[in-house]
């Protein structure tokens, strides 16, 4: 059963911007945090950004000040606005709860390269 559908990834030049979307296809308790993760080749999946039920936002040090997590009013979609992209942001990006509790979606590929 598909639970999350991520989209919006693309090839972008350093310094560019992208906005990722995650459509949530299942009922997730409102008490759960939602998050974006990423995984690049030869690295473990890492937590990038989290949004709590109270709309508190938390970020990995590597993206703080450049990325912004948000969600729709219906809470059925979670977004990740990514600005000032760097080559080291290249990865497949996924959404899930934090801590993750559900199967991973297919993710969306972000490639930052000139």
Q: Given the DSSP bridges, would you call strands 67-71 and 57-59 parallel, antiparallel or unpaired? A: unpaired
The tokens for 7 are 């989209």
The pairs formed by 31-34 with CB atoms below 8 angstroms and a separation of 24 or more are: 32/97, 32/98, 32/101, 33/97, 33/98, 34/69, 34/71, 34/78, 34/95, 34/96, 34/97, 34/98
For position 2, what pLDDT does the model report?
79
The residue to which tokens 């473990």 are assigned: 44
For position 92, what pLDDT does the model report?
98
For position 75, what pLDDT does the model report?
84
Separation of alpha carbons 27 and 29, rounded Å: 7
Omega cis (within 30) before 37 = no
* Helix (H/G/I), strand (E/B), else coil: 39: strand
For position 41, what pLDDT does the model report?
87
The tens place of each residue's pLDDT in the chain, 114 residues long, gives 779 999 999 999 999 999 999 999 999 998 999 999 999 988 999 999 999 999 999 999 999 999 999 999 888 999 999 999 999 999 999 999 999 999 999 999 999 999
């Amino acid at each position: 059963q598909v639970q999350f559908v991520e989209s919006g990834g693309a090839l972008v030049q350093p310094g560019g911007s992208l906005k990722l979307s995650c459509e949530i296809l299942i009922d997730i308790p409102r008490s759960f945090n939602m998050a974006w993760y990423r995984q690049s080749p030869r690295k473990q999946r890492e937590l990038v950004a989290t949004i709590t039920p109270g709309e508190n936002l938390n970020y990995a040090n590597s993206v703080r000040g450049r990325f912004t997590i948000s969600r729709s009013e219906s809470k059925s979609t979670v977004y990740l606005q990514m600005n000032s992209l760097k080559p080291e942001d290249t990865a497949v990006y996924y959404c899930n709860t934090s801590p993750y509790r559900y199967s991973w979606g297919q993710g969306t590929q972000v490639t930052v390269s000139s």
